[in-house]
Structure 1
Amino acid sequence: MKTQVAIIGGGPAGLLLSQLLNRAGIATILVEKHSRAHVLARIRAGVLEQSTVELMREAGAGARMDREGLPHDGCNLSTAHGMFRVDFSEGCNAQVMVYGQTELTKDLYDAQDAIGATIIDEAEDVALHGVDGDAPSVTFRKNGAPQRIDCDYIAGCDGFHGASRPTIPAGVRHEFEKVYPFGWLGLLSPTRPAAKELIYANHPRGFALASMRSHSLSRYYIQVPSSARVEDWSDEDFWGELKRRLPASVAATLEIGPSIEKSIAPLRSFVSEPMRWGRLFIVGDAAHIVPPTGAKGLNLAASDVRYLYEALTATILNGDVQALDHYSDRALTRIWGAMRFSWWMTSLLHRFPDQSDFDQKIQESELHQLETLQSARATMAINYTGLPY
């Protein structure tokens, strides 16, 4: 097989890049190690920055998102002294869209099928070759038979554990990581959301988040120790602890129901530089991981896609051979901005095992400034709705 751009990974980043490139007239072949059913079963993020929403529309995959997504103009922060709202419209005249990553991925699969894009799933032993030369290729096995794709460029959208990032020599890669001493226990339930907008709770018992996927599907999280196990938490235990951490007025009207899914996500910050090696470009979780506190994971993948899409079209369609040279630096500038915001949100809202009384007072002071200073809320709003490109 031969194509212009081989894309490794069939999550939202790979699908979105494939969709945009094909619509621009650039041929792709997308290779995914799992089945489509497996990809669509993943429970992931649900808050889209305004720029991600616009990119989905540009890709011709935003119609259902526009019909069913929930535009939010703000979010709520709960503290020991009460709850207050950060108004995004007031802060930066922007908003976010609550729309589950599973639904977004389904829309992209449907859009790819509609244009006849080539997607190869259940590909085993994916390997990248010759990326530092002029003739890169991808090999894999499908149903036990060896396959090869010759291409001009490779986009590694295959996540943290994929084959793309390790293809960049260890002596070239510079990796940055911060591991947090807790995780998020998440529960998805077919119940009415606790509030019209997200609630981020700073509580002496630990952080909590009341989120949603739709008017009838809620997603909740509570901070748990790194050693916690899902099997040690019954639904009843989860709901009880969530109620303790949310404002009393919210807890009193909280609709409780069965869990559709329950899991624990560890929290870490991770960046690998550079995001290019020869004709290989890494995208999304292959290059970076953020704590979910700032809702940046999917949105950073989308911004990587935008930068790479612009660079590939400029190079392939317009002959601008220098456009690809700027991909890594452009993407990393925005990544580190979002990394800082996610770290700040995580530091502000969680209780750390070694947290002193002084540390707690600093958290309370920061939250008080957010509540009382419009400039502080505006800064949070700009970061939450998405840094400019």
Structure 2
Amino acid sequence: MNNFTFYSPTYFVFGRKTENEAGHYVKRFGGSKVLIHYGGGSAIRSRLLDRVKASLEKENIEFIELGGVKPNPRSGLVYEGIDLCRKENVDFILAVGGGSVIDSAKAIAAGVKYEGDFWDFYEGKPVTEALPVGTILTIAAAGSEGSGDSVITKEEGMLKRGAGGEALRPVFSILNPELTQTLPAYQTACGATDIMAHVFERYFTNTKEVEITDRLCEAVLLTMIKEVPRVIKDPNNYEARANIMWAGMVAHNNLVGVGREQDWSSHGIEHELSALYDVAHGAGLAVVFPAWMTYVMKHDINRFAQIAVRVWGCEMNFANPEETAKEGIERFKQFLTSIGMPITFKELGAKEEDIPLMVEKLGLGENGTMGSFVPLRAKDVEQIYRLAL
């Protein structure tokens, strides 16, 4: 296990009706003028926004609103939010929605405190200062409610890039599983795939002797395998929704990733799919991850065989562990199909002729690489896209 530091200060408020406490926690964490940031009409139709506003009014906290966040959140709305916060002297941002809303809120929070272009952070500049962000989660998926990460799509060139830093970690997050019960099955499955992908990016590592985090990763994956079919069958299953919601946070606040090298190439490869086609991030990951697994499997057959046995219930073939590894990947694909996820370009709506463009937009050039489990060059990424055809 590698040396590590781990600091996860987000205050979590979990359970039924907890959104009604939003005003209390905004006040507790120093907010006096709030930007409520949200997505489309669901927060309005469900009266969630009304309940949040009432909780702020109860605490005599001023607020303004900025809706319109789309999946794969855009830079244009971030710039609008930064200008609005500066004009209105906002000192706290409350994100009401899923990962896209939270990521957009984080980008605004960083941009308000920065004299330059907020996009600098998404090109590698560290985020050291930001307005405090609180969240009310409505989709279990991205884990942004417990992480210091944010992903934004720049409309000029449709570049999807990430930024991160402890300054972006929410000061509090309200998690009420009831708020996810109205999600369509497809969105639920996309979120679940994203959660599993966050675990896979950490699980496939070159670091040795990481049994404790291996087992934590496996526990999250087994939970998803059990609970996702239950909520697709019964969207109102609160207990299954609760387990998925907490799994989403655990998968990405880095508890399961400390002390080990992490990969993250599959997320980068997928970002080009969702940037170009505006598909759900989880759906793109469902297409990319099995292809990536197939391409890099021989780098560490035993690790792939281990997850096949421990998570997918395969029998270990000691004479030929590669067969066990392949069976594990196949069972993963079967699971994705069973919950309604695409696993090919055709199912996703992606086109073979766009592969060179997506590879080029990654910016690897001739000698650049991405990922750490197996460092991938541009030609490797192209082959992974082609395996997904």
TM-score, normalised via structure 2 length:
0.27
Structure in which a larger fraction of residues adopt strand: 1
Structure in which a larger fraction of residues adopt helix: 2
